Amino acid sequence: MEVLKIATAGSVDDGKSTLIGRLLYDTKSMTDDKLEAIERTSKQKGYDYLDFSLATDGLVAEREQGITIDVAHIYFSTPSKSYIIADTPGHVEYTRNMVTGASTSQASIILIDARKGVIEQTHRHFFINNLLRVKDVIVAINKMDLVDFSEETYNKIKSDFEELMGKRDYQDQTITFIPVSALKGDNVVNRSENTPWYEGQTLLEHLEALDQKDIYNTGTPRFPVQYVIRPKTEDFHDFRGFAGKVYGGELNVGDEVVVLPSMTRSKIKDIYFYNEQYKTAPRRSSVTITLEDEVNVSRGDMLVKVGDLPTVDKQLTATVSWMDSANFVPGGKYVLQHGVNKVLAKVDAIEHKIHPDYSGIEENVTALQMNDIAKVKLRLNKPIFYDRFKDHRTNGSFIIIDSRTNNTAGVGFID
């Protein structure tokens, strides 16, 4: 079954949790015991409607404060697809969670409160979806019931948002506008009778129609080696398999490959998935590859096709999204994890900070704080084999680990 990962973004009270609850309810993905718990709690609180946000706000602190404070994952499925929603909070201070949710998603829902229209938060949400190059963006204009399902209001918000789209740098992104009421269920799963002027799909119809081909950014095949399999048994005495996941494109038996960093050339002999051999290792498959020649390959090395070499360099410029409470400073030393490969990195310079709402840049920055986004220059102790993020979402990104705390302190997108 197909799996579609979706990130959601909205401001406090935009009704994000309610929208997700509505999706679960109308697709009958919510079980009776969970529904009963929601009914019970809604009644206790004196609401005259079902508070679907109770289905997703999982932690005690969230129930107390009535807000979502971390990324939560919600699952539902239809006969044709499995959906995973990364529910990320919309507060200004939680940019890091939104970046995190978007990094694993192929589609994203941006919520706008129809009464408030496009606000600064909307700029941020769109900026992040653009920065992370999320392929399919749905702008859900919510709480339409509170503006009498006004077409005029919808059109005004749509044109405000389209103005924002002029600022984006990722042009291939598909953007779809849908007028909804999460609370009442209009245009979420079922078509609304209240919006006769809207002829587009409902939210679920749109998600159902998304094809895998439309939602993955393609690039050249990259095979970072995770693990070397050497069984040393009688049956597989000389077996040396390179285990890893294929990114960007597919690899085939007989492909001429180069092993990085040694630059040794060989040919793909066999492709295994468990105990079966295949001709092709498709994109995003976890396979085991053997080579024709006896080549020295270890974890962190990369197999690429001859003629499709990535950049091999010890210096790079990247946009970094900082996620740690300890500041990112010039001269600072970190561990940089690029795929499965780890190297040491030193911050050469912070070129400028980028306001994540399209309001420009800030120069002469001395440090980055949590939730800052900036252009930085890094120097590495060993070369890595990278592509530009705009050409390769996987091989163009890295994480920064603070070696004092071992925390994942930031994420970078290579220029």
Partner 1 sequence: MSTLAEEIKKPKIASQSERPGANALEHEAIYIMREVAAQFEKPVLLFSGGKDSITLVRLAQKAFWPAKIPFPLMHIDTGHNFPETIEFRDKLVEELGVELIVRNVQDSIDEGKVVEETGKYASRNMLQTTTLLDAIEEFKFDACIGGARRDEEKARAKERIFSVRDDFGQWDEKNQRPELFDMLNGEIEIGQNVRVFPISNWTELDVWSYIQKENIEIPSIYFAHKRNTFLRDGLIWSAEDDVVFRADDEQVEERMVRFRTVGDMSCTAAVESYADTIDKVVAEIRDSRISERGARIDDKRSEAAMEKRKQQGYF
Task: Look at residues 371, 327, 359, 364 and name the one whose alpha carbon lies nearest to residue 349.
Answer: 364
In the complex, what is the shortest distance from the CB of residue 347 to partner 1, in angstroms, rounded to a whole number? 19
User: Which of residues 230 and 314 has its CB atom nearest to partner 1 in the complex?
Assistant: 230
In the complex, what is the shortest distance from the CB of residue 323 to partner 1, in angstroms, rounded to a whole number? 6
User: Which of residues 159 and 298 has its CB atom nearest to partner 1 in the complex?
Assistant: 298
In the complex, what is the shortest distance from the CB of residue 30 to partner 1, in angstroms, rounded to a whole number? 9
In the complex, what is the shortest distance from the CB of residue 122 to partner 1, in angstroms, rounded to a whole number? 23
User: Which of residues 69 and 349 has its CB atom nearest to partner 1 in the complex?
Assistant: 69
For residue 366, CA distances in Å to 33, 160, 318, 351 come to 53, 35, 17, 10
C-alpha–C-alpha distance, residues 315 and 224, integer Å: 20
User: Which of residues 277 and 359 has its CB atom nearest to partner 1 in the complex?
Assistant: 277
User: Which of residues 97 and 130 has its CB atom nearest to partner 1 in the complex?
Assistant: 97
Q: Please report, as a single letter, which amino acid is at residue 316.
A: L
How crowded is residue 198: how many other Cβ atoms within 10 Å of its Cβ? 20
User: Which of residues 214 and 362 has its CB atom nearest to partner 1 in the complex?
Assistant: 214
In the complex, what is the shortest distance from the CB of residue 99 to partner 1, in angstroms, rounded to a whole number? 7
Element (H, E) at 213: helix 212-215
In the complex, what is the shortest distance from the CB of residue 209 to partner 1, in angstroms, rounded to a whole number? 19
Give the N- to C-terminal CA distance of the chain in Å, as an integer: 35
Q: Please report, as a single letter, which amino acid is at residue 285.
A: S
Let me know: does 38 contact 52? Beta carbons within 8 Å. Answer: yes
User: What is residue 216's three-state secondary structure?
Assistant: coil
Let me know: does 304 contact 385? Beta carbons within 8 Å. Answer: yes
